[in-house]
Amino acid sequence: MTTLEILWWDPSLLADASVGKAPLHWSARGQLSMGVMRSAWNDPKATYVAIKGGTPNNSHGHMDAGSFILEADGVRWALDLGTENYGKMRAAKLDLWNYSQSSNRWTTFRVGPEGHNILRFNGQYQLINGKAEVTELPEVNGITGNRADLSTLYSNFASQVYRTVLLNPDRSVTFKDEWRTNGQATQVTFQWLTKAPDFNQDKHASQQQWKTHTYSNSGECYKEVNSGNFTFLNVFKWPTFFDASDIPVQ
């Protein structure tokens, strides 16, 4: 909480019934498009999910187009670590304001691709001149959603890349990734950063199940998350989890 938030904080708003009527789905266009959905405002166990678009080639930008955060049952299942301390980056001799494709700026965990919940193609960087556009999907049977067109960020490996996030009426969340490669064998990785204890406990026990698959044409990857439990259907690449439990969130 910032100083200004403390100065303007009004506790009486917590009892205001109109707060519960705030929009449950909000989308923004422009330079940094995004979609934000939640199941309720007045439920401490509500599901909250957000996906961002944009481009790495932007002031203070990260290589995080298509990344998401997810919270359900009071647990942050997928997180964003925030930015790295710029003083530390300068001390490490990183070219802080160089946004070129080969800049060592992207080697910083929090800033580069490794520190975000994104797709990776052959383990390479997103293209810095690419831009993800997030659009809002029409509500169908109580299901709200956003779709991110990530194609220009991965055009060196795929002609089409889309990520769809759906919030279902039962508070579960569905992630759907679709891609069509450029006719070449391609390794596709789904990254998920979490501090959630259940994920960390299961990580080592399940590691042998996480296989790398290579496909030459196209694929669809479905991930369903329900109150922290997840099931994988037609998964072409088991997810890569970075254990972020020792990394402070800024």
Q: At residue 45, does pLDDT exceed 50? A: yes
- pLDDT at residue 75 tops 60: yes
At 99 the pLDDT is 94
What's the whole-number mean pLDDT along residues 46-74? 94
- Amino acid letter, residue 246: D
pLDDT digits (tens, 9 = 90+) for 144-192: 999 999 999 999 999 999 999 999 998 888 888 888 888 788 888 888 8
Q: Is residue 185 part of a domain?
A: yes
Triad 82, 83, 86: Cα angle to 5°: 155
Q: What is the CATH number of the domain that holds 38?
A: 2.70.98
Does 47 map to a domain?
yes
The pLDDT tens digits of the residues spanning 102-124 come to: 999 999 989 999 999 999 998 99
State residue 4's pLDDT score: 75
In a domain, 112, yes or no: yes
pLDDT of residue 201: 41
| 22-34 per-position pLDDT tens digit | 899 999 988 899 9
Whether residue 162 is contained in a domain is answered as yes
The rounded mean pLDDT for the chain is 78
Domain of 42, in residue numbers? 26-243
Decide if 18 is inside a domain: no
Question: Containing H/E element for 191?
Answer: strand 186-194
Q: How many domains does the structure of the chain reveal?
A: 1
**Collapsed DSSP state (helix, strand, coil) of residue 77:** strand
Contacts of 250 (CB under 8 A, 6+ apart): 81, 82, 83, 85
Residue 233 has pLDDT above 50, yes or no: no
Which pLDDT does position 22 carry in this prediction? Answer: 84
For 150, 157, 182, the CA distances from 124, given in Å and listed in that order, are 14, 10, 15
Asked if residue 4 is part of any domain, the answer here is no
What percent of the chain shows pLDDT beyond 90?
42
Output the pLDDT for position 1.
Answer: 58
Task: Flag whether 216 is in a domain.
Answer: yes
Cα distance between residue 72 and residue 220, in whole Å: 25
